[in-house]
Amino acid sequence: MQFTAQQIGTLLEGRIEGNPDVTVGNLAKIEEGKKGDLSFLSNPKYEHFIYNTDASIVIVNEDLQLMQDTKPTLTIIRVKNAYAAFSTILNMYNEFRLDKSGREEPCFIHPEATIGTGGYIGAFAYIGKGAKIGDHVKIYPQVFIGDKVSIDDNTTLYPGVKIYHDCKIGKNVVVHSGVVIGSDGFGFAPQEDGTYKKVPQIGYVQIEDNVEIGANTVIDRATMGATIVRDGVKLDNLIQIAHNVDIGKNTVIAAQTGISGSSKIGERVVLGGQVGVVGHIVVAKGSQIQAQSGVNRSIKDEGKKWGGTPVMPYQPQLRSNVIFARLPELEKRIQELEKLIELKLK
């Protein structure tokens, strides 16, 4: 689709400098912009690109002072916050690009499933008995939705998502390809002969509203009760969330993190990549945990930074890293001191 500078300026409540009738149909980085492209500039480090870009329109902060003339073909739109404004444009562009509706065949929908209005069901999707699908839900090809699963309005399931029976998904949830929700928790009882007997996992997974789940993440169903991912949580790719875990509102978790069973993660927690959390502990709200840390005990102090394995307060952990890097040097000095002592004792 094509948009004029005037239309974009009106949407963003911006001030236009240049041709208000110039049109754009693509989005591009400022250094790669071509005729017909819309770009933005918010970081001063990239200001030099605006003087040579071939983009037709660039969104900038209203207080940007240009040090030289731009190309006469460039139209500038000044807004309060260029980054936020361009994010608005990106969201609109994505909505247009991903706007799908209707039903593709072949797909299987059980006669006892309930399907809302205005949605999309892609080819080879499976919707089981008693499933309840809300309005404007997008179900991409090869999605599996088990029996009695409920999915609320405006949720999107990308290709290959698998949702086991009885799980509950809220409104405005985005689930990326390869995600498995409701697989069995890791429950096995050791036997006298050294074997393991499976403990049935009869709970479910509850995903609340406004959650985004990255590709190939797995969220296990509870042994009993629910594994819960609460409002506003953002999960990266390749995350493992075990049975009966409870993740608090607006928590952010980076890739390859694993959270063991029955642990409770507070609100607004940030877990870096490859963090490991043991089972049956609590992480206080507002905690920030450095990548590759191992959380082996409960964190009770709210709003603090942590790092290392086992986890410790962040600043002492940084100092420990400095000492650790010097261990070979310190070992050598100790050996030299031991030799001096031996000589003196002789």
Measured CA to CA, the distance from residue 58 to residue 66 in angstroms comes to 13
Q: Are 34 and 129 in contact (CB under 8 A)?
A: no
Catalytic one of 110, 165, 243, 280: 243
183, 165 Cβ separation under 8 angstroms: no
CB 281 within 8 A of CB 263: yes
Question: Active site includes 48?
Answer: no
Separation of alpha carbons 59 and 17, rounded Å: 10
Other C-beta atoms closer than 10 Å to the C-beta of 130 total: 16
- The one-character DSSP state at 50 is G
Distance CA 74, CA 49 (A): 12
Tokens representing 346? 């002789």
Task: Return the ∠ at Cα 273 (arms to 277 and 170), rounded to 5°.
Answer: 75
The Cα 125–Cα 151 span in angstroms is 15
φ, ψ for residue 106 (rounded to 5)? -85, 145
Pair 138, 157: CB distance under 8 Å = yes
- The strand pair at 75-79 and 15-17 is best described as antiparallel
Verify cis geometry, omega within 30 degrees of 0, for the bond prior to 106: yes
Element containing residue 84 per DSSP (H, E): helix 82-97
Query: Residue holding tokens 């080879």?
Result: 124
Report, as residue numbers or ranges, the catalytic residues. 243
